[in-house]
Amino acid sequence: KQEVTQIPAALSVPEGENLVLNCSFTDSAIYNLQWFRQDPGKGLTSLLLIQSSQREQTSGRLNASLDKSSGRSTLYIAASQPGDSATYLCAGKTGANSKLTFGKGITLSVRP
Amino acid sequence: KAGVTQTPRYLIKTRGQQVTLSCSPISGHRSVSWYQQTPGQGLQFLFEYFSETQRNKGNFPGRFSGRQFSNSRSEMNVSTLELGDSALYLCASSYGTSGGYTDTQYFGPGTRLTVL
């Protein structure tokens, strides 16, 4: 059974800082891993998806990596801005048709 | 391309009642998944439908049920509501095929259900 953990639950950083959000998963036979952003009271917005055959994906200031052997994924945010303040969730699948298992998320606050 | 839509956006019910939530996926998407989000439990998977068939099911009681229509729209039903069913219910759609970026899930804004 896949379990996904995100620590810490909350993070506060000053604007402009580069930061890394961590995600751990228990089943190394992960099929893909997806990072989402959620603003308060809203739905989730997909940020990046990494297939098991890939090591990283990039989109603008965001870079996500996947290390199956260590059971870890990281989301790197460069030059953070107050608009990046949100909850970031990672979720993994163990097979093409399996369900998506979510971590509880990291609530990020970027201070001006 | 229109995103995932969910109706209604807000709902207030009393214990014992039943409720139906609706989700319209992105055009062309055949997979619809439902999630319950609460502050304590986070996002929990309810079920997934693909081409009108339930493909995956989470660990929720039988009071929670769903279906998918031929146009891929999906409904979720909760019978005999309990206070603990108060949550944000999210649906997500994807192409549902194996592999590649077609597997990306796109979420709707959610339905906020309050049970009094």
pLDDT, tens digit (0-9, with 9 covering 90-100), for A19-57: 999 999 998 888 899 999 999 888 899 999 999 899 999
A41 vs B64: CA distance, rounded Å: 23
Q: Which of A1-5, A44-48, B86-90 has the lowest mean pLDDT?
A: A1-5
- Are the Cβ atoms of A100 and B105 closer than 8 angstroms? yes
A62 vs B55: CA distance, rounded Å: 32
Chain A environment of B100 (Cβ under 8 Å): 51
A90 vs A33: CA distance, rounded Å: 7
Question: B49, B89, B97, B107: best mutation site toward chain A, by most A Cβ within 10 Å?
Answer: B107
Q: Which two tokens stand for residue A112?
A: 């001006």
**Type and span of the H or E element at B89:** strand B87-94
Sheet holding B19-24, edge to edge: B5-7, B19-24, B74-78, B64-68
Query: Mind telling me how many Å the CA of B53 is from chain A's nearest CA?
Result: 12
Return mean pLDDT, chain B: 92
Q: Judge whether B104 and B113 are in contact, CB under 8 Å.
A: no
- Are the Cβ atoms of B42 and A105 closer than 8 angstroms? yes
**What CA dihedral angle connects B7, B11, B14 and B19, to 10 degrees?**
0
Q: Which residues contact B10 (CB under 8 A, 6 or more apart)?
A: B111, B112, B114
